Structure 1
Amino acid sequence: MSPAFVWPVRAYYEDTDAGGVVFYANYLKYMERARTEWLRHLGISQERLRQEQGVIFAVRAASLEYLRPAVLDDLLHVTARVTDRRRASLVIRHEIWRRYETKTPELLNHGEVKIACLDAGKFAPRPLPDLIVDAMTAGDPEQ
C-alpha cells in the first residue's frame, strides 16, 4: 500500500541479554520507534495529535517472526510500511534487517502490528484524522 520508511538503530548493550543477543521484546520497541519516526517524517507529532485533536494510537495486535538474532553493536534498519488502512486502524508491516558495509543485508525479524486510532478521552475507536490520511497518501502512487 505504501513505500517503506527506514529507520536505523544500533543494538546497544542495554538491548541485549547476558549472551550479547538482542532481547526478544526489544524488537517491538524498535518497531514502535520506527512508527513514531515515520509519523514525524510525515510531519505528524503524536503529542500534538493528542492535544489538538484528542487522538491517540494503541496497539491492538502484534505478530512477529524471529528468523535470526541481532547481537551487540549490529547496525539495524527497521522498516515500517502501511499494508492496510481502515476507517479507524492501520496495519503496519515491519522488517528488521542487519546492515553490513560489505555484505548483503540480512533479514532478522518481520511482523505486523495493528494500530487502533482512539479518542484520547474515551479510549473508544474513532476515524483516522484527515491530516494522517492526507499525509500517508501524498506520496503513495497507489492512492
Structure 2
Amino acid sequence: MPAIKLLYDERILKNAIKTLDLLIMAKIQFARGIEETVVPDVRLTRAKVGDSSTATFTFTNPDILAQDGKIEPTGLYLIDEEGEIKISAVQGKFVNGKPESLEAVYVMQSKEEWDRFMRFMNRYAEENGLGLSKS
C-alpha cells in the first residue's frame, strides 16, 4: 500500500511542477533574485556566413543602479520556463561620474543558441508589450 501512495504523491508533485513552470514569466535580472523592471533596448546582429550572432542589451537607468552600491550586478540573467541564459559581459556607462546605463553583450556561436535566445525574447516581448523594428 505505501508504494501506491508514493506513486500517487509523485504524480501530484509532477503536476504541481508543471503548473509552476507555466507561471514562470520571462524576466531579466542583474543579480539573482532581483528582477529588473527597466525594459532594455536590444540590438541584434547576425553574421552573413556561419552561425555567429550577438545581442546587445542597453538599460538606461536600470533599477540596480538605484541601489547605491548595495547590490552589485553579477551578470545579466535571462530567465524563463526553459531555464536561464547567463551573460557575463556587463559594463557600466557613466555621465559626469555617475552611472547612467548598463550594457550587456551576448555572443551566440550556434543556431541552437540563437533559437533559444529568440524563444526567450519572444516570451519577454509578449509579456512586456514590445515589438520588433528593423533598422
Task: Give TM-score, length-normalised by structure 2.
Answer: 0.30
- Larger CA Rg, structure 1 vs 2: 2
TM-score by length of 1: 0.29
Per chain length, whose mean CA-contact separation is higher, i.e. which structure has more relative contact order (CA < 8 Å, sep 6+)? 1
- Name the one with the larger helix percent: 2
